[in-house]
A and B are shown apart, each in its own frame.
Chain A
Amino acid sequence: MKEYFRLKYIELLDSMLNAEELLAAFNDIDSTNEEISMVEENESASNKSVWNKELLTKMASSLVNVSLTKLKNKQQQLDGKNKDGDDTKTDFVAMEELQKYIDKTTDMKPTVEDEEPFLALFLDKLISRLVPEPLPAREHILPDVVDQEVSVAILASNVHKLSERMENVFEFQDTMVRILTWRQPSTMIIILLILTKICYNPMYLILLPLLYLSLGIIIKQYNLKYFDGTHSRQSHREKIGKSLINDLFKHEPSSYTTATTTNSLNTTPQEITHGMQVVLNLRDFQNLTTSQLHMMDSLSSFLNETAAFKDERITTLLLVGLLLSCIAFKCLSPFINWSLLCSCTLWLTAIITHPKLLPRLKQLHWFQSHDKQEISTTTLTTSTIKYDVILDQPPSIRYVEIFEIYRQGLIPTTWKFFIYSKSLFNPTDEYRRAQTPPPGVKDLSQVQAPDQWLFDPNSEWEIDYNIHDWASDRNLDLSVDNEFLIDSTFKRRRLTRRVIKVLPSS
């Protein structure tokens, strides 16, 4: 019985391999078909359908391939434990599965519970099939780093691991925000003091981390390991007496946030489970990526609009302002006590952004600016045009040409207008050889300037009487009559006109 199934199994495997080869061949035929159809019909619609068919076959073949590898894995497992009784059942299940997938029922339901998800494997195979040629490599500092292949499983696991590791980063962010909003005034003041010290002697940038590493981390670890308990006994009563620093600087969160914290207090006792932690991290990760994207957007809008002459005047003024500030900094820097300036700025910004002080300052500022606005609205309602930047750079000028072609009538001396064309239509011209009229128009007003260029409205089409020059430039050896260059049945003259480059308007 077992042997029979094994044989059947191998048979099936062979047939599957054949199927895959067939599919691959079919794929090749399709691609040749595509080429033929490209040549014959030159229609985009058919191309698209061919492409879709190709995609389908690729999908199907990768499905088969995935199923095969899965089956092989199972077979190996079977080889290991083929004494077990119920292996036939699993075989049947796998075969049914396979049948289902071969019939292109591409429902992506994760019906199989395995250590390697079917969907991920399938996507990997599909990607590697859709992108057959090797992807362009990135530059690496270390020469032995190799670009990995695109794999959904690795990507997913990376995101998962990253979101778990990010926990510490987010906690650090929380602490920083708490300190910066003066909820722990003593820590804030310590940080300010340290920064001031760094301002006066940058050497502390190296010294302080070393000190922190030795005193803050290693000794803390020692204490954790060998030191137990504080000397004083914990009492359950609240602390009596208040510190002046805390009373002066401590900022209690406003009523709204306290309400939310009390709400959250109700939930926090029921410990953050692992699943919840994961979700929480994912949310934070999402926030982080969103804010990062916002930052990138604003940066790119600065680079592509403000700094890229979308508004010529503003960009020019920006440049001048930057240059002037550079010169000013360079000139003033010897006379500035940078340590004092930096430390003063630090302390001032810290105090001004104190949550107790800031609203009052804002109010004051609002009152002042409101008064000013009232004055300005009454007096200044006139011109919005600014006269500080002169935009009179001459635009690029070029010349365009077109050929006016005449055809010989029944009598050799009569000529009939034929067409205005870019092509010379001389005897060696490809359209002339194909005996079709060249692309062109019957009316001169239908001739247009090249893209992003404009005919000079103060110019007209001019006949080029310097016929020998343009004929010899094109290596033409034809007879000449006035401004015309004549061959057996056609004559043409060259018209030129001035064009002006149009700048993309803001």
Chain B
Amino acid sequence: MESPQHASFVTHINQRIPLIMSTPLPVLKGLSDIYPLLIIIDNILSTLLWTTDDSGTIFVNMVMICLSIRYLIIPTKLNLTEITSQYVLLDYLGLLCSSFLFCSIGYYFHTVISETRNSEPPTVDDIVMLLENVENKLHVIKKQVLNLFMIDSYKIFFQWLTLATFIQVLIFRLHFIPYIDDTKSYLILAFILSSIFHTRTCQGLLQLLWRIKAVRIAYFWWRGSNDKLYSVKRLTPLAYFNMIISDKSYITVTLTIHNTDELTKIETLRNRLIELYEQGEHSTQQTEMSTPSLTFNIIKLTVQENQRKWGGINWTGETLSYERTNFIINSPFGTIFNSDNPLNYDTTFPGNWIKLDETWNKSPWTYQDGNWGIIGSKDSPECFTRSRTWSLRIFQRKI
């Protein structure tokens, strides 16, 4: 009888009380005066963001602006031999375009003002909606500009400086890109790039290119890895072991002997030690000095395993070259090292250290997003990486 119920999306229904009741009259007057200006600003912003339907008109305007720039900016050195019929024609077109553009801007302003005057006056809600649109668009632009030029450290400043210098040398010294050889063409190129940046095509293209591994490697080579666990050094198991010994980051437990048979069987000894280790992690054990006892040192070797999701389904140990590797060691000094697969670890340790656990203990997976930010313990379409910890305890009798 009961059919499953689909939950509905959270939407912002704005069934507010009409604003006209709550807005004072001078504010209303000001809002209605500012309305044509708002329309113009909104149109300019939507042209910049290419959100209008008529993208063909924007393109034609763009070409005309390029031709005008070409005409209006006088070249630094006028070379008479360069003046050919083609140049003259282009200059003439530039003159036409610049005057046409001025007329077009004036015509647009005129039509906006006359149409708002002649049509019925806008409601307060219309104006507020338009204001919200303008605010949203400005917000988008602000966010992107900040993303691009967020300079919060000297490192990033130098990164941008080197990139800019590199591009300058490439264009003006080596003439890598043909046709770009003076300020004018550079300006035109910059104008074209900045104006097409927000087109759907451009945005989609950038997102698709970001999927390519080579592009990411190049970007992070310039920008530096943003993964904190990224390191190039490699640590051998023996070095890791020695590091722990030298740091004395092991736990010492005292085993009270009730029955000497306990010590003859390795299984029971192990069980007792594991018991003591787990107690020791929580509280320091008080032992009576009278009973005979032995002390043991126990080390917990931990290796973190990292995996990445490929092709949307396959989890493999292949990670990217600018981020953490498949297996990493978090050393007691706080630095990160690359590691071998723990299964390949040499199981004989120096100094009479014996394995306490038979095999490596693996913790459950923690799922993370593309940048190793933790999401949760369950896999979902937004998880692209995962990590877990392998641990092995070894012990040694303290002499």
Contacts and interface: CB of A to CB of B under 8 A. Distances in A.
Interface of A: 312-313, 316, 319-320, 385-395, 397-402, 420-422, 439-442, 446-451, 454, 456-459, 472-475, 496-497, 499-503, 505-506
Nearest to A449: B7
Contact of B7 (A393, A447, A500): A447
A386 B310 CA distance: 8
Contact of B375 (A319, A448, A458): A458
Interface in B344-394: 367, 369-370, 375-382, 384
B9 interface: yes
Contacts of A393: 207, 211
A320 B212 contact: yes
Interface string B3-41: 011111110111111000000000000000000000000
Contact of A447 (B4, B15, B382): B4
A394 B382 contact: yes
B399 interface: no
20 contacts: A316-B211, A385-B314, A387-B310, A389-B212, A390-B216, A391-B309, A391-B384, A394-B370, A395-B382, A397-B382, A400-B10, A439-B5, A447-B4, A447-B5, A447-B7, A450-B8, A454-B380, A475-B17, A499-B7, A505-B312
Contact of A389 (B13, B207, B211): B211
Interface residues of B, number: 43
B208 interface: yes
A398 B9 contact: yes
Given A394-B370, A422-B7, A441-B4, A473 B14 contact: yes
Of all A-B residue pairs in the complex, the 4 with the closest CB atoms, nearest first, are A458-B376, A392-B370, A400-B7, A457-B378
A402 B10 CA distance: 9
Given A390-B212, A475-B15, 12 more contacts: A312-B312, A320-B212, A387-B310, A388-B212, A400-B8, A400-B9, A400-B10, A420-B5, A422-B5, A446-B5, A457-B376, A458-B375
Nearest to A456: B380
Nearest to B374: A458
Contacts, number: 135
A449 B380 contact: no
A398 B377 contact: no
A387 B16 contact: no
Given A402-B5, A422-B7, A448-B5, A458 B213 contact: no
A316 B7 CA distance: 34
A501 B369 CA distance: 15
B311 A391 contact: yes
Contacts of A472: 16
A276 to B, nearest CB: 55
Contact of A448 (B4, B15, B209, B378): B4
Contacts of A394: 369-370, 382
A319 B4 contact: no
B293 interface: no
A320 B214 CA distance: 11
Contact of B312 (A319, A391, A448): A391
B310 to A, nearest CB: 5
B362 to A, nearest CB: 20
Interface in B300-331: 309-312, 314, 316, 318, 320
Contacts of A401: 7-10
Contacts of B216: 390
A298 B384 CA distance: 34
Contacts of B384: 391-392
A473 B5 contact: no
B2 interface: yes
Nearest to A331: B178
A500 to B, nearest CB: 5
Contacts of B209: 320
B2 A448 contact: no
Contacts of B379: 457
